[in-house]
Amino acid sequence: MPEVGGLPPPPLWPFPVAQEIAEVLERRTDVLTSRAGEQRIALRPRPREIVSFRHRLDALGMARAGELARAGFAGDWHVPLWHMALQPGGDLEQGATEIPLDTGLSDFRAGDAAAIAVDGREAAAVTIASVQPDRLILAEPLVLQLPSPTVAARRITIAPIRAGVLTAGVEITRRRQGDGTVTASFLLREAPDLTAPVLPTYLGRPVQTDPSIPRRPLSASLRRTVEYVDNGFGPVVVEPMRDVFERSETITLKAQGPIARHALRRWLWSLRGRQASFWLPTWGRELQLRAAMTQGSVLMRVAPVAALDAYLGRPIMLETPTALRFRTITAAIAEGADHRLTLSSNLGEPVPIATRVHFLTAMRADADRVEIQHGSVASEVTLPVIEVPA
């Protein structure tokens, strides 16, 4: 990258990554609770990003890592973002000034740099003149970055480079003299402003139902904030402190492939820590149909699962044969051994009796610190969430 004010550019941390990359997003949210609800104020417009790399290096690589850390530990670094790395869309040749790839799936920026690694060796930096949707335009032709006149695309990895600072000491663990692991963590500067992915919406909130993200089983905790009054002589009295019933869960989302991985990061970005809310299906199939529904019907017969007044105003999701449908229960009466529910509108198609129906819960993240584990082909995040008033 070009020098600024006559100062040399920050050193490049060029080492390839051997194991999973941990990416931490840190926000700050002030949650003000009341008896009937809460107000959430985002105190940090963009998250802080911390990435942790583990490199498997030989004796020379460990020596180079140690000397780089010794010379520039307290300064800025050029950090390749290997968890956003992509392969080019075609072979590269020495003298080329363009790199074909889908730039919308990563964080390439005009005027910054990109890292080029061949066969998993140490990376070399190139300056980006401009970013097009399908290619990078380079400020200078590729020469020393490629080991031969033509290099096949499958051998090449391209990653964006961001400025960062070390957040902890560089750790070197030797298995033997010529084999060891180097661990380094960087706090990145200039976080991007990512847009939220396109998700289904209902009543003004997005619904987390992206079928490209497999889900692990959900564990839920149901509670209400109360105070136990015990004077030591009589019975224990339970006093509710809030009128809100809370359902908390821990969900694990896994995204495979560049498109799904990028969408997962964008969704986590859109949560703004603990501020933004979204709908989350319980995936519990709580409402089991007793009869099929016709195309224009708004009446749903289900097995009893709650008191009649507890159904009112509850949003639900139906996994119909053609799409996911969202509706709200507006009325409920007993009909023999079953409960008959009235929906806010018809489904526009017949609903078979085997259709799965789940409650929808308004949720928000219950942590300002989220850690994403980036593997070679998939990314995974475990996120605690908590119910908010709908």
Same domain, 243 and 362: yes
Q: What is the identity of the amino acid at 296?
A: G
CA angle 311, 316, 320 (to 5 degrees): 135
**Per-residue pLDDT at 57:** 93
In a domain, 1, yes or no: no
Neighbouring CB atoms inside 10 A of 316's CB total 23
3, part of any domain:
no
Specify whether 253 is located in the same domain as 377.
yes
Query: Is residue 320 located within the same domain as residue 182?
Result: no
For residue 259, give the H/E element and its range: helix 258-270
Quote the number of domains for the chain.
2
Give the Cα separation of 301 and 243 in Å (integer).
30
Residue 79 in any domain: the answer is yes
What's residue 215's pLDDT?
A: 56
Q: Which amino acid is at 371?
A: E
At 9 the pLDDT is 82
Residues 145, 229 within the same domain: no
Judgement on whether residues 261 and 131 belong to the same structural domain of the protein: no
Instruction: Looking at the structure, tell me whether residues 85 and 230 fall in a common domain.
Output: no
Task: Please give the Cα distance from 81 to 21 (Å, whole number).
Answer: 10
How many CA within 13 A on the CB side of residue 141?
A: 6
Q: How confident is the model at residue 366 (pLDDT cuts 50, 70, 90)?
A: very high
Confidence of residue 239 (pLDDT cuts 50, 70, 90): confident
Residue 223 domain-assigned (yes or no): yes
In a domain, 7, yes or no: no
Q: How far is Cα 163 from Cα 158, in angstroms, rounded to an integer?
A: 17
196: Cα separation from own chain's centroid: 11
Are residues 126 and 145 in contact, defined by beta-carbon separation less than 8 angstroms?
yes
DSSP state of 19: S
* Per-residue pLDDT, 43: 94
**Residue 32 pLDDT:** 93
Average pLDDT over residues 209-235: 75
b/e for 8-23, b at 16 or more Cβ within 10 A? eebebbbbbbeebbbb
* Domain final residue, candidates 160, 188, 216: 188
What gap in Å lies between CA 264 and CA 150, rounded to an integer?
Answer: 35
8 Å CB contact between 95 and 215:
no
What residue numbers bound the domain in which 76 lies?
A: 21-188
